[in-house]
Amino acid sequence: MFDFLKRQRKVIVNNQEITDVKINNSTIDLKKEYVNDILKSKKLPIVLLDPLWLSAKDHIKSKTIEKAEKELQELLKEQGRLNTDFKEYTVVKQNFLKEILVVSNRAQETNSEADLEELNKLHQSTLSANKKLEEIEARLETIDEEINEKNKEIVSEMIAVGYSYIENYKEQNEKLENEIAVLREEMLKKTNKKKESDAFLKEIYNYLHSIVGREHIEILDKKLGDKK
């Protein structure tokens, strides 16, 4: 079967896609299993807040990473809203408790039905605030786990894909080093040959200078030198 996911994992260098790198998805999945085993006990920085991540991800484009990043971003937004709500409901609860204290003292003195009814409403409102705070706390616990898992999913994908590129480029570098060695040897041969030519020319001109003199060399070059 065709490996359509292969097109989802690309390497980008200097804003240009490198097309000569081939990645096998089954190999990436095996790498991810190994990486996940290592990462399961580690507390990782949130990738979206990590400058090193933002720099590294510019070089690798993966649909898996892009999708997980969006999901992580939504989880972080929800977590931010929950923390704000928790602070607000905590203030609301404290205000209810203050009002309960005031109305309770007043009701003891007046024994008024209106005060007792207001006191009952305040108790109900406090219970509602407590329930809401409990719900927020429970969600904050689960969302924290979801954020960590989503974050590790992104990191494991990045490491697995990154190592696949590393392997490819190590092979490419080895091939290039061999080619460079051949070119270097060829350049050394040509450099030595040029040195021999330079030495020959120097010896010939020295001899000519001694025979005809320097002032006649230019004339001889024009008369006897190579002609097209």
β partners of residue 12? 17
Cβ atoms of 90 and 133 closer than 8 Å: yes
Name the residue with higher pLDDT: 25 or 31: 31
Separation of alpha carbons 11 and 179, rounded Å:
23
* Residue 37 pLDDT level (bands cut at 50, 70, 90): confident
pLDDT mean over 192-215: 83
Q: How many other C-beta atoms are found inside a 10 Å radius of the C-beta of residue 122? A: 20
* Residue 36 pLDDT level (bands cut at 50, 70, 90): confident
Name the residue with higher pLDDT: 40 or 101: 101
Q: How far is CA 51 from the centre of its chain?
A: 8
Rounded alpha-carbon distances, angstroms, from residue 27 to 36, 81, 164 = 14, 39, 8
pLDDT mean over 218-227: 66
Q: Which fold has domain 4-182?
A: Substrate Binding Domain Of Dnak; Chain:A; Domain 2 (1.20.1270)
| Reported pTM | 0.63
C-alpha dihedral (136, 138, 139, 141), degrees to nearest 10: 120
Q: For the segment 141-189, what is each residue's pLDDT rounded down to a tens digit? A: 999 989 988 998 888 888 887 777 777 778 888 888 999 999 999 999 9
Domain boundaries, the chain: 4-182
pLDDT mean over 108-135: 89
